[in-house]
Amino acid sequence: MTDRAPEAAFGPEDVEVVARRPVYQGFFRMDELHLRHKLFAGGWSEIMRRELFVREPAVVLLPYDPVRDQVVCVEQFRVGALEMAYSPWLLELVAGIIEQDEAPADVARREAREEAGLDVMELEFICRYQVSPGGNSEEILLFCGRVDAARAGGLHGLDSEHEDIKVHVLDWPDAQAALDAGRMHNAAAIIGLQWLALHRESLRHRWLERDAGNGF
């Protein structure tokens, strides 16, 4: 029998940041930190230097239509995939950075309109996770949102952010097939679709039962 998932042994108070300075500021920011932390065996580590890619937290939304059993995805160019073996135009979920004093649910609804032309009727929280905590501060809050997929389609995005976004509507079997075949190349889409594969039936039942109770 395995141990239960352990609680974290240490917390933020067990790290001493000796120095921190920005080394790059452009569209993104990079900081250099000199720090030390407590060790599992006792005592403290030596002071080490680490570079930290600084990003604000972001919201990702999986738009799902329980009536039509369809998923809405967006396709856009990503410079980080430029040298990968696959195309740098990735099939993704709706996403956006949380602005100051903005609630995550509001971000999900705003980005659904901006990137896919959709209104979100209900939201289901999935999880929160860090993208690459070894050197990146970005945290993702992932939601599933109920939408009317019949309204999805076309080209979207903000010119001010150089966005060029194409909307795709996938029947659930096709979305699952793309996931199973390894055609999804970003973590949020993989995590979101895997979650939907596990919870789709109960989610559909709950949302559609609510419709019946409201007389739809």
Active-site residue numbers?
A: 161
Half-sphere exposure of 23 (CA within 13 A, CB side): 12
Cβ(38)–Cβ(10) under 8 Å? Answer: yes
What are the beta bridge partners of residue 127? 142
Between CA 29 and CA 188 the distance in angstroms is 22
Between CA 18 and CA 46 the distance in angstroms is 11
Q: What is the 3-state secondary structure (H, E, C) of 93-107?
A: CEEEECCCCCCHHHH
- Residue 203 sits at φ, ψ, to 5 deg, of -65, -45
Measured CA to CA in angstroms, residue 191 lies from 24, 128, 129, 134, 163 at distances of 31, 11, 10, 19, 24
Residue with tokens 């032309």: 117
* Polymer length of the chain: 216
Measured CA to CA in angstroms, residue 15 lies from 20, 134, 136, 141 at distances of 13, 15, 17, 25
What are the beta bridge partners of residue 140? 58, 129
